[in-house]
Amino acid sequence: AFAVNPNTLYTISTDDMDLNIGDDYEISIDRGEGTEKVTGVTTMIDSVIITQPSSRLNFEDNANFRVRWFPRSQDTDGEPSVYDVSMIIRFEEVDLNNPDIEGNMKSLEWELAKSITQEMEVVKLGGEFFAFLSNNLEAKTDIGRNYRGIDIVVDAGGEEILDYVRVGTANLGITASQEIPFYSNLSEGRGIFSSRNRTVKSRVLLNAPTQERIIEHELTKDLNFNFN
């Protein structure tokens, strides 16, 4: 919540900064008028390496699939503290009645897990993939969908983001108090000064059996997917 309007957003180009994994960085905000500076400190975290899926994805109704990763940095000072994992399903929608018209690129983001702190993997049942497509796409007889790949996305966050998540969930539940907790690592006011990194494994393809399942599966057969 901001007390005044307009609110100003300040940005700085990556090319103008020299950030090193594992180093500590401080933000210092000069509010003027002789007031104390507002400060916050964080450690720059590293990105991750996605190890699974290693090649093509395989989704089966009654079998699990996994997304696995590990921190790229061997320095614990730069190791992330919390992870979000998602898949971005990319496809092109085409008008089957007008095949000469250029199609429209579309995408769906499937959130697999949020705020993971211990295990560096996500395990899901393959049947959830077909249910996700069915719940988020409308079957239309005149619309075809050309599959263009799946991006595996792992967002890594610093310790301050983890603390924010923990404080935000600490007061949930039937016996929780009515107080609304908040977390800030700034010397005054409210805010989070932290770092995050996003790793994307782009355009992962589906194996042949999964392509056939999407075409024939009860939940997805009317979505008109094409894998040519």
pLDDT of res. 23: 93
pLDDT of res. 14: 83
Round to whole Å and give the CA distance between 217 and 92.
20
SS3 readout for the chain:
CCCCCCCCCCCCCHHHCCCCCCCEEEEEECCCCCCCCEEEEEECCCCEEEEECCCCECCCCCCEEEEEEEECCCCHHHCCCEEEEEEEEEEEEEECCCCCCCCEEEEEEEEEEEEECCCCEEEEECHHHHHHHHHHCCCCCCEEEEEEEEEEEEEEECHHHHHHHHHHHCCCCCCCCCCCCCCCCCCCCCCCCCCEEEEEEEEECECHHHHHHHHHCCCCHHHCEECC
pTM for the model: 0.87
Cα–Cα distances in angstroms (integers) from residue 152 to residues 56, 67, 110, in the given order = 12, 8, 10
pLDDT of res. 118: 83
**The token pair that represents 83 in the structure block:** 């992870």
What letter represents residue 100's amino acid? D
In order along its 228 residues, the chain shows pLDDT tens digits of 677 788 888 899 989 988 899 999 999 999 899 999 999 999 999 999 999 999 899 999 999 999 999 998 766 788 999 999 999 999 999 999 998 899 999 999 999 999 999 889 999 999 999 999 999 999 999 999 999 999 999 999 999 999 999 987 776 666 656 666 789 999 998 899 999 999 999 999 999 999 999 999 999 999 999 998
Q: Which of 109, 112, 60, 61 is nearest to 85 (CA)?
A: 112
Round to whole Å and give the CA distance between 212 and 207.
9
**The token pair that represents 47 in the structure block:** 């990105």
pLDDT of res. 178: 61
pLDDT of res. 217: 98
Q: Compute CA 35 distance to the chain's CA centroid, rounded to the nearest angstrom.
A: 38
Round to whole Å and give the CA distance between 129 and 60.
9
pLDDT of res. 7: 83
